[in-house]
Structure 1
Amino acid sequence: MLTNNARSVKRILSTKEAVGVACQRTFATGKAKKGSKGGGPSDAAKTSTLSKEVKASTVVGSNILKKGTDPKILPAANYPDWLCQLLDKRPALSELRRKNIETLLYGDLKRYVKLDSRAKIKDNNSLKAKN
């Protein structure tokens, strides 16, 4: 019995010591002086090495090959029509609810059903949630 108590006291002490070491508070050093060595962030604004002309005419960062260059941006006529439609803003649920359901296009109707069912699920979950 005495040995069991001694073991539990050792465990408690070692646990407290571990918590004390893990919870020690340390303070960061002050800002590094200008010209000092260190990997801290610099106050100087970082400027891009690419010119505006290069940024406007190429897709910067899309090259995945070791020996290659970034592809040039082509005129809109060279791309498929669906690609430009990806940038169009899709209507929100509130806007779709204001429209007549029978006159909606198939894509908008499909979006309406998806957003409406998602909203109903959220409402049901919030009602069932424990407060």
Structure 2
Amino acid sequence: MSMLSRLLRQMSTRKEAAGTLWVRGFSAGGGKAKKGGKGGAGADASKTPTLTKEIKSTSVVGANILKEGSDPKVLPDAEYPDWLWGLIDKRLPLSELRRKDVETLPYEDLKRFVKLDNRSRIKENNTLKAKK
């Protein structure tokens, strides 16, 4: 008796059977056994590039999208615009924005509050409609 027929006999519902039929297993070797010749493990190991610590710390590795050229160099902090450093600041979540007084919020926080609040109300309305 094949393994598939044993699995199908053990299933209690059609849904479980359908879910099991579409499971695909993968072997560690990618499905094909390679014996010597081209494409073996030795060929893959020699192709992997190694980066020195000096290159990693002086350039943005992987930022070059062109075939020719090289990765851009890392500049001192003073060379970058001021707004760039504000991107990493943590912003308040909707629950915190709701607790604050709307009239005292800065414009950017107010704009974000309106966007997040609208998104939240739309999700809530969609959930209520789906239950009906």
One fold, TM greater than 0.5?
yes
Question: Separation in 1 of the partners of 2:27 and 2:63?
Answer: 40
- TM score, norm. by length of structure 1: 0.61
Question: Separation in 1 of the partners of 2:121 and 2:94?
Answer: 12
Distance change >3 Å, CA 37–CA 120, structure 1 → 2: farther
Deviations 1:69-119 (A, max 9, x none): 211110111111111112222211011112221111100000000000110
Q: Which amino acid aligns with 2:73?
A: K
| The structure with more helix, counted as a fraction of residues | 2
Question: Separation in 1 of the partners of 2:75 and 2:25?
Answer: 54
Quick check: which has more Rg, 1 or 2?
Answer: 1
Question: Separation in 2 of the partners of 1:26 and 1:113?
Answer: 45
Q: Which amino acid aligns with 1:77?
A: A
User: How many percent identity over aligned positions?
Assistant: 58
Question: Separation in 1 of the partners of 2:25 and 2:65?
Answer: 43
Once the 2 structures are TM-superposed, how far is the Cα of residue 36 of structure 1 from its aligned partner? Answer: 6.2
Deviations 1:27-49 (A, max 9, x none): 8678689x8679799xx9xx861
SS in 1 for 2:66: coil
Question: 1:92 maps to which residue?
Answer: 93
Distance change >3 Å, CA 109–CA 60, structure 1 → 2: same
CA RMSD in angstroms, aligned pairs only: 3.6
Aligned residue runs from structure 1 range 65-104, under 5 A: 65-104=66-105
Question: Separation in 2 of the partners of 1:30 and 1:69?
Answer: 35
Question: 1:112 maps to which residue?
Answer: 113
Give the gaps of 5 or more residues in structure 2: 1-20
Give the gaps of 5 or more residues in structure 1: 1-22
Question: Separation in 1 of the partners of 2:27 and 2:78?
Answer: 57
Aligned residue runs from structure 1 range 14-29, under 5 A: none
Number of equivalences: 104
Distance change >3 Å, CA 37–CA 79, structure 1 → 2: same
Question: Separation in 2 of the partners of 1:76 and 1:92?
Answer: 29
Question: Separation in 1 of the partners of 2:24 and 2:124?
Answer: 45
Q: Which amino acid aligns with 1:61?
A: G
Structure 1's consecutive aligned runs of 4 or more residues displaced over 6 angstroms after TM superposition are 25-33, 35-41
Question: Separation in 2 of the partners of 1:79 and 1:71?
Answer: 13
- TM score, norm. by length of structure 2: 0.61
